Structure 1
Amino acid sequence: MNETLFYLQKRSSEFNREVQDLATRKDFQRFLKRVQTSGGGLRGIRKVQGGAWDGWIYRKGEIDQENVVKRIFQEIYLGDQFPSLYGFGPLFHKGEGLYLHERLLISRTVLGALRRKVRMGIASGRPRFEAELALRRFGLIAYFKSAVTLDECHKEEERAKRSTGRRSKRTKPHPYSILRVIREIGIPSPRCAYVGDVVDDMVAARRAREKVEILAIGFAPGGKKDRTAEESLRKVGADMVVRNPQELLQVVERL
């Protein structure tokens, strides 16, 4: 959100609600000043907008219609990959995508060593297009036997709704994505570990334990000086927390 507002502040000068007008006029400066004097952030937007255009504030609606926040974010994040996903061109940002600045938290060397010892899969909350974009960029697709993304979780939600008449979430902290990865990898009676860096990852792994033998391993790369992330992961049930990829490799070797 901060990156989006920074971009708007840098490139714009008065607000208009129509998407096409926003693209051609880029009049955001006055709007941003009003938001700032009203407290900033989403709270400031709500005060300025009142009850108008909740879809814009709450990120609802279609990306090619009223959902301007999502459109701007996706254009900035995806860059030249935006048309490949959505089938139409960008309006606000025609430069490179921020995804090009992402870096690996675990090196290919360590991933390669892990791959030789265990079968790996991905349970991601990102859309499949974005997950595969990152995997292709770093040359990692072949490292993983299964990848379950936001797309598969949403499809399972729709399937469950047709069956029961009720919608229930399958995204983390629900264990669906983790359990599906384990099933797709296909090892009978597997001993598993799930590595994640946020609270929902640990909660999902703990819930998956009702079905399979699995360790919840937190990943907190901030180092010893930053204990906040580690404490949060332990608080929700992480069996252990590692601070760097080499430590993770050592843990796997001991399993």
Structure 2
Amino acid sequence: MRGTVNLDLRALIWDIDGVLVYVGDSYRKAIVETTQYYFTEIVGLGLDDYLLSIEDTQKFKMAGGFNNDWEITYGAVLCFLTGIISEIDSRGKCVNSLKDLPMMWDESHRGLDLDPVFKGTAAKGGGLANLRNALVELYGGSEETAEKFWHTDLIKQLFQEMYLGRDLFRKKYGFKPEHVKSKGFIRNEKPLTAQKLLSRLSERHIMGIASGREHFEIDVVLKMHGFREFFNEEFIVGSDDFPSGKPDPSQLLECRKRIEEVKGFIGGGNIAYVGDVPDDVIAAKRAGFRSIGVTASIRNDSGKKRLREKLIDLGADFVVDELAELDEVI
């Protein structure tokens, strides 16, 4: 934890993923599995090994601008499509349709080195648009060809089928899953805090949520873990309220507006946003709020250390490894 002086806070606005719940086996797993499914089942490549790892998904987050996990998945698919097509282009061959890829693909070619892509994306400001620009700089026309076979609507549907599972998918969208019929990775999510802590904090602070999830998923996860009673529905802002994700502060500012309509004016210095990635700290600062960073979702010490240092460098007021430490801070 950074610092020992208590913050004078009236309101806490929370992120969900990586803060209230561990999503390494749900959202992050859905990114990995959707990417793999796209190439094995949609493209038709015979892959023995995974293209993407859970650690890679965190690198997307660290590059910035990937508030929505669908966009990480879009980016991952585009990266590997570009890498495969670049290798084919290097042999003087031309890919004209998706069905050409399995016949032209060299099985010894297992994708591409993502680190230069992450570095280039971060240098340009992060996010999917800048990832595309980084791929163009690295791979030229191969990226343009890859976009012809990059079907983001399909990728999103695959992701949602895997993440929600057949029952929740049908409940949300009104039709049965078409590709993946499983229970859903959402059921793998585990709480990162206890109800008792949230109860204590809610007695002392106004509680809100600003999340990259849509309201359907927010409601499911809060009910699943017994957190629903600690958050007033009026003070919950999701990505279906504001599609522009963090580091854009719009969600946070909307949450503040809703709170103030009920509770009266609250100064930005008396509000803290609790998040787990660099974009959360940036969004909090742009909104004029305090920022509390959380590293609880990172399982290895080196990754936790890198994240903590990054959050502090960006100006987080406090960084905690476990949410229980918040009792000491606020």
TM-score (norm 2): 0.56
1:14 and 1:31 in contact (8 A); partners too: no
Match of 1:246 in 2: 324
Q: Percent identity?
A: 31
Instruction: Work out the CA distance in 1 between the residues paired with 2:104 and 2:188.
Output: 27
Give SS of 2:171's match: helix
* Aligned residue among 205, 224, 239 for 1:150: 239
Query: Does the C-alpha gap of structure 1 residues 179 and 113 become closer, same or farther in structure 2, counting only changes over 3 Å?
Result: same
Instruction: Work out the CA distance in 2 between the residues paired with 1:10 and 1:230.
Output: 36
CA displacement at 1:5 relative to structure 2 = 3.8
Instruction: Work out the CA distance in 2 between the residues paired with 1:31 and 1:108.
Output: 54
- 1:188 and 2:264 are equivalent in the alignment: yes
CA displacement at 1:31 relative to structure 2 = 7.7
Query: Does the C-alpha gap of structure 1 residues 137 and 41 become closer, same or farther in structure 2, counting only changes over 3 Å?
Result: farther
Instruction: Work out the CA distance in 1 between the residues paired with 2:247 and 2:189.
Output: 24
User: What amino acid sits opposite 1:143 in the alignment?
Assistant: F
1:1-255 matches, within 5 Å, as 1-7=31-37, 14=44, 30=102, 34=106, 37=109, 39-40=111-112, 51=144, 54=147, 56-57=149-150, 60=152, 67-80=153-166, 81-145=168-232, 146-154=235-243, 170-186=244-260, 187-190=263-266, 191-209=270-288, 214-221=289-296, 222=298, 226-252=304-330
1:194 and 1:205 in contact (8 A); partners too: yes
CA displacement at 1:7 relative to structure 2 = 4.8
Instruction: Work out the CA distance in 2 between the residues paired with 1:251 and 1:224.
Output: 22
User: What amino acid sits opposite 1:151 in the alignment?
Assistant: D
Query: Does the C-alpha gap of structure 1 residues 36 and 88 become closer, same or farther in structure 2, counting only changes over 3 Å?
Result: farther
2:38 and 2:155 in contact (8 A); partners too: no
Give SS of 2:190's match: coil
CA displacement at 1:207 relative to structure 2 = 0.9
Instruction: Work out the CA distance in 1 between the residues paired with 2:160 and 2:33.
Output: 12
How many aligned positions are there? 214
CA displacement at 1:150 relative to structure 2 = 0.4
Query: Does the C-alpha gap of structure 1 residues 194 and 84 become closer, same or farther in structure 2, counting only changes over 3 Å?
Result: same
Instruction: Work out the CA distance in 1 between the residues paired with 2:162 and 2:198.
Output: 29
Deviations 1:65-97 (A, max 9, x none): xx2222211111110211122222111111100
Instruction: Work out the CA distance in 2 between the residues paired with 1:36 and 1:128.
Output: 43
Give SS of 1:217's match: strand
CA displacement at 1:38 relative to structure 2 = 5.8
Instruction: Work out the CA distance in 2 between the residues paired with 1:78 and 1:55.
Output: 28
TM-score (norm 1): 0.71
User: What amino acid sits opposite 1:176 in the alignment?
Assistant: S
CA displacement at 1:189 relative to structure 2 = 3.4
Query: Does the C-alpha gap of structure 1 residues 224 and 53 become closer, same or farther in structure 2, counting only changes over 3 Å?
Result: closer
Instruction: Work out the CA distance in 2 between the residues paired with 1:249 and 1:79.
Output: 36
Give SS of 2:240's match: helix
Deviations 1:33-82 (A, max 9, x none): 657726259999x99x975572652x53xxxxxx2222211111110211
Q: Which gives a bigger RCO, structure 1 or 2 (Cα 8 Å, sep 6+)?
A: 2
Q: Which runs of 5+ in 2 are unaligned?
A: 1-30, 46-98, 118-134
Q: Which runs of 5+ in 1 are unaligned?
A: 16-26, 61-66, 155-169
CA RMSD for the aligned pairs? 3.4
Instruction: Work out the CA distance in 1 between the residues paired with 2:146 and 2:40.
Output: 23
CA displacement at 1:108 relative to structure 2 = 1.5
Instruction: Work out the CA distance in 1 between the residues paired with 2:301 and 2:240.
Output: 36
CA displacement at 1:171 relative to structure 2 = 2.3
User: What amino acid sits opposite 2:314 in the alignment?
Assistant: V
